[in-house]
Chain A
Amino acid sequence: MAKNQYTYAVARIRSKELTLLNNQILEQLIASKSYDECIRLLQEKGWGNQDTKTAEEILGFEHEKTWELMEELVDDISVFDVFLYANDYHNLKAAIKQAYVGTEIPNIYLSHGTVKVEDLYTCVKENDFEALPDHMREAARDAYQVLFHTGDGQLCDVIIDKAALKAIYKRGKASDNEVLAGFAELKVVASNINIAIRGNKTRKGIDFFQRALAECDTLDIQRLTEAALDSESAIHEYLSSTIYSDAVAALKESLSAFERWCDNRIMELIKPQRYNPFTISPLAAFILGRESEMKSVRILLSGKLNDLSENLIRERLRETYV
């Protein structure tokens, strides 16, 4: 019983939650006079170490720290596959493109995937995808063929992105966990809406939408395709009839407002986990809370770097988990 309850891990996460940035600290960061002061404040709050100086180094360090903690807390990190698949598919894209251009490109791979980057690159280089996981094999083969025969990088991306969404969705639903399943659903929904809006703006045809949109429970992709082929207001109209009607206002504002709406929706999903003392859910919520926090810090630092006003930065920040 204790094993699936994650009693030790959740108790440890509860203590770790004290180190997350709350609204008060974010306000302090917003009020800081410069980018350098912001970095110094973050370092005072325990972000980064003595070797990390730049924003990217600090954020990279914090990302690693979260995943190292999770690897320590759970015996089998595959419980978080739903988060790790995105890294795998990103790495697959990178490996195919690297093989296509035939030159070494530094720092294009992400860490913490379920497939080792070296194995992935070997499969792509040898055009033999048998060693890849089932969910990835067919998409890898198709994307490889498309890029090498047509040179169409965008189509290659569409094939891999859809396979990633299908894998995340399937893994999330199979997890039998409300946070992981909810995250997978929201991830697919957000991507589908994004694809529909961008596809409509660039006047894509039905083939594109059929290739790119992934199945999910809460959106009818047939209707979304029809709306995307029609107009942006048709997409809004369709979304108004779904449980995502509140996304329409964000979409009307801008795509970055929609992105913020997606993040806030994930926050709504994970917030009840602050009071759950058992199961993997509070750990998953912590990962997502940390990601949201890092996104806020990234926005804040780039705002400071570009001398944006405090109000402009404040309205772009994500909700905090604590």
Chain B
Amino acid sequence: MMNNLGIVFALLGAVLAALLSGIGSAKGVGMGGEAAAGVITEDPSKFGKVLILQLLPGTQGIYGLLIAFITLSQIGILGGNADISLAKGFLYFGACMPMAIVGYASAIRQARASVASIAVVAKKPEQFGKAMIFPAMVETYAILALLISILAVVGIGGLSI
């Protein structure tokens, strides 16, 4: 019975990585969309610029999906042997957490920065380049979490526990 729980925790980790990052991105892109729509109502010519800013918080959802996909293939759910120990299951769960938690939080924070930058573009469209840097900085932390989650998920497979 306890041995079967390994795959449960591993899958739970994969699901949370996709779920929380996806929720964060959905909220973030939604917030950006509201702000972008506000600007477009007054000046439709700014569509291209505000669309890019709106989409910036969407990347966390993609990273979460990537981690979930790699985990699923590593634990054998997409084919192969799905028989993993409880300890490994916990390790996979833990490995997915950076992406799940940082993905959610960074998407929301990035969205706030995006909304502020959309306001900059609304008033000074020529400052688009500078305005894009601010939300893009938040991306750093989502990428760091992605990196750690990938290294951990891939590395766990080689452990003999």
Chain A interface (Cβ < 8 Å from any Cβ of B) = 1-2, 5, 7-18, 277-278
Contacts and interface: CB of A to CB of B under 8 A. Distances in A.
B142 interface: no
A322 to B, nearest CB: 9
B36 A11 contact: yes
A25 to B, nearest CB: 16
Contacts of B115: 7, 11, 277-278
A21 to B, nearest CB: 15
B116 interface: yes
A46 B139 CA distance: 41
Given A11-B122, A277-B116, A5 B42 contact: no
B36 A18 contact: no
Contacts of B116: 277
A10 B123 contact: no
Interface stretch (B17-25, B27-35, B74-82, B145-153): B27-35
A18 to B, nearest CB: 6
A18 B122 CA distance: 9
B43 A15 contact: yes
Contact of A2 (B30, B39, B119, B123): B30
A2 B122 CA distance: 19
Contacts of B123: 14-15, 17-18
B41 interface: yes
Nearest to A322: B123
Given A12-B38, A277-B35, 6 more contacts: A8-B35, A9-B38, A11-B122, A12-B39, A13-B38, A278-B112
B37 interface: yes
Given A5-B31, A10-B119, A277-B119, A15 B112 contact: no
Contact of B39 (A1, A11, A278): A11
Given A11-B115, A14-B119, A278-B115, A2 B34 contact: yes
25 contacts: A2-B30, A2-B31, A5-B31, A7-B34, A7-B38, A7-B115, A8-B35, A9-B38, A11-B34, A11-B35, A11-B39, A11-B118, A11-B119, A12-B38, A12-B39, A12-B41, A14-B38, A14-B123, A15-B38, A15-B41, A15-B122, A17-B123, A277-B115, A277-B118, A278-B112
A18 B112 CA distance: 22
A24 to B, nearest CB: 15
Contacts of B122: 11, 14-15, 18
Given A2-B30, A15-B43, A277-B112, A8 B38 contact: yes
A17 B38 CA distance: 13
A277 B112 CA distance: 8
Interface in B113-142: 115-116, 118-119, 122-123
- What's the interface size class on B, roughly? 10 to 19
Which of B31, B42, B119 is the most central at the interface, judged by chain A CB atoms within 10 Å of its CB?
B119
A16 B38 CA distance: 10
Contacts of B119: 10-11, 14, 277
A1 B43 CA distance: 26
Nearest to B36: A11
B8 to A, nearest CB: 32
Nearest to B43: A15
Contacts of A1: 27
Contacts of A5: 31
Nearest to B41: A12
B116 to A, nearest CB: 4
Given A7-B115, A10-B119, A15 B39 contact: yes
Nearest to A13: B38
A220 B34 CA distance: 45
B54 to A, nearest CB: 11
Contacts of A11: 34-39, 115, 118-119, 122
A13 B119 CA distance: 9
A10 B35 contact: yes
Nearest to B122: A14
Nearest to B38: A11
A15 B42 CA distance: 6
A12 B42 contact: yes
Contacts of A10: 35, 38, 119
A9 B122 CA distance: 13
A277 B115 CA distance: 7
A136 B92 CA distance: 65
Nearest to A16: B42
Contacts of A277: 35, 112, 115-116, 118-119
